[in-house]
Structure 1
């Protein structure tokens, strides 16, 4: 009977790195959801501010636009959180089997592009409010 070579010990640093990556995704998605809530309520704040200003014209479109952008940010935070969990579980399974992981840049790149687009929309909304 031939002796079976012991399996090399798994390096825990890879598991910790995967967990840190998951936690950074969770922090990002929670920030996106929290900021989305603030943006959604910003329209109501502007409307309340406009009511107290003498001679101010209330713009209902601003309130609904900030609500839409805020809800979109909250929804994107939820999706980012789900993608993070899916990526973590995939990488954890691969590490458990001793397989290499595929660090796809698609998730972080999509997050950055979407955040930039939302930032552009917010600049347009705020600029429209300031110029009115």
Structure 2
């Protein structure tokens, strides 16, 4: 028997995914805009894309990816709840987490 608390718990989990994605997107914008601000302070005429802008864009992409995965997870769990069953998504969660870790490691090695 599925109760309203199950659906509400799924919704809270979804909102946590969205909050995390928004935080990543916001942090990405801060990094990218700060780099552009520093270029403006230098008063250089050449416009170049610094590595900070690229890192900011990667964080924005990771935030969008996080929200997208949150939507996928929310819809999948809702379908399970409506059928009265639950399937573990440990493989999908592991793949998602591994992807984020790989992106983070690649970006950190590029900083060296």
- TM-score, length of structure 1 as denominator length: 0.66
Deviating 4+ runs (over 4 angstroms): 57-61
* Greater Rg over alpha carbons, structure: 1
Counterpart in the other structure of 1:88:
74
Q: Which moved more, 1:102-111 or 1:85-94?
A: 102-111
Partners of 1:100 and 1:85 in 2: CA distance? 17
2:11 to 7, 19, 30: 19
Higher relative contact order (CA 8 A, sep 6+): 2
Counterpart in the other structure of 1:3:
none
Unmatched tracts of structure 2, length 5 or more: none
Is residue 34 of structure 1 aligned with residue 26 of structure 2?
yes
> CA offset at residue 27 of structure 1?
0.4
The question of whether the paired residues in 2 share the 8 Å contact of 1:83 and 1:107 is answered with: no
- TM-score, length of structure 2 as denominator length: 0.76
Q: How many residues align?
A: 110
RMSD (Å), alpha carbons: 2.9
